[in-house]
Amino acid sequence: MNNKPILLSQILQYKCFFFDFDGVILESANIKTEAFIELYTGSGFEEQIKEYHLANQGISRFVKFRWIAEQLLQKTISEKEVLNLGEKFSTIVFEKILKTPFVPGVERLLKELKQAGKYLVIASGTPQEELDLIVQKRNLGPFFQEVYGSPSQKKEIVAQTMFNHNFEVNECLFFGDASTDFEAAITNKIHFFTRYTAALANYWQEHVAEFVANDFEAII
């Protein structure tokens, strides 16, 4: 699809904004896809693992490790093994994420929202401690009032934030690029901005959001 202009005034009508992280703030979605393939190279299930990851972006990597072990590798996996995989995964992606570029237009969007006094929240599937460090290293902290990673669930993050700050459903907008992002928005009956990617083209054909664009440079 091609970017179609979206007026900034349309975005500024909302008061509270939820942002997924990978693929929405940073162009880091592919890094994590590659990391999953690297972890399981030689397993014979690389393609299935890639497809599963892409279909479940935004879900905790630890949940994925367990699914891969049980459903594909047909073996029981201990919590120690899950944690070890998590450490290897973090090692693969962390330095790359610190260097990866921002999604086009997102820096300007964050500045506009901050200047307008909006309430911004990160809702990510990245482990909380790792996410906090990345946010700090990339100097994103000043833009966000709250930052949530796993094990928090996105739909619960949205619900709790709305409850705590008395935001109405028509006052909130979720920026996401994954099915879990869209489901979090739909569950809480708030509006959604799809950062469209070809990897989920079939999904977005079936799930229509209020806003759709290749990136945030479409906001003018």
Q: Contact, 218 vs 3, CB < 8 A?
A: yes
pLDDT category, 1, cuts 50, 70, 90? low
Mean pLDDT across 8-33: 96
Domain 8-26+103-218, CATH homologous superfamily name and number: HAD superfamily/HAD-like (3.40.50.1000)
C-alpha closest to that of 134 among 2, 18, 28: 28
Residue 2 has pLDDT above 70, yes or no: no
Nearest-5° Cα angle at 90, 214 to 101 = 30
Mean pLDDT across 193-206: 93
SS (H, E, C) the chain: CCCCCECHHHHCCCCEEEECCECCCECCHHHHHHHHHHHCCCCCCHHHHHHHHHHCCCCCHHHHHHHHHHHHCCCCCCHHHHHHHHHHHHHHHHHHHHHCCECCCHHHHHHHHHHCCCEEEEEEEEEHHHHHHHHHHCCCHHHCCEEEEECCCHHHHHHHHHHHHCCCHHHEEEEECCHHHHHHHHHCCCEEEEECCHHHHHHHHHCCCCEEECCHHHEC
pLDDT attached to residue 59 = 86
pLDDT attached to residue 95 = 86
pLDDT attached to residue 55 = 87
Q: Contact, 51 vs 197, CB < 8 A?
A: no
Q: What percent of the chain has pLDDT over 90?
A: 90
Q: What percent of the chain has pLDDT over 70?
A: 99
Q: Which two tokens stand for residue 5?
A: 């202009």
Residue 3 has pLDDT above 80, yes or no: no
Mean pLDDT across 162-187: 97
Residue 174 has pLDDT above 70, yes or no: yes
Give the amino acid at 178: A
> Tokens 């990866």 identify what position?
100
Q: What predicted TM-score, i.e. pTM, was given to this entire model?
A: 0.87
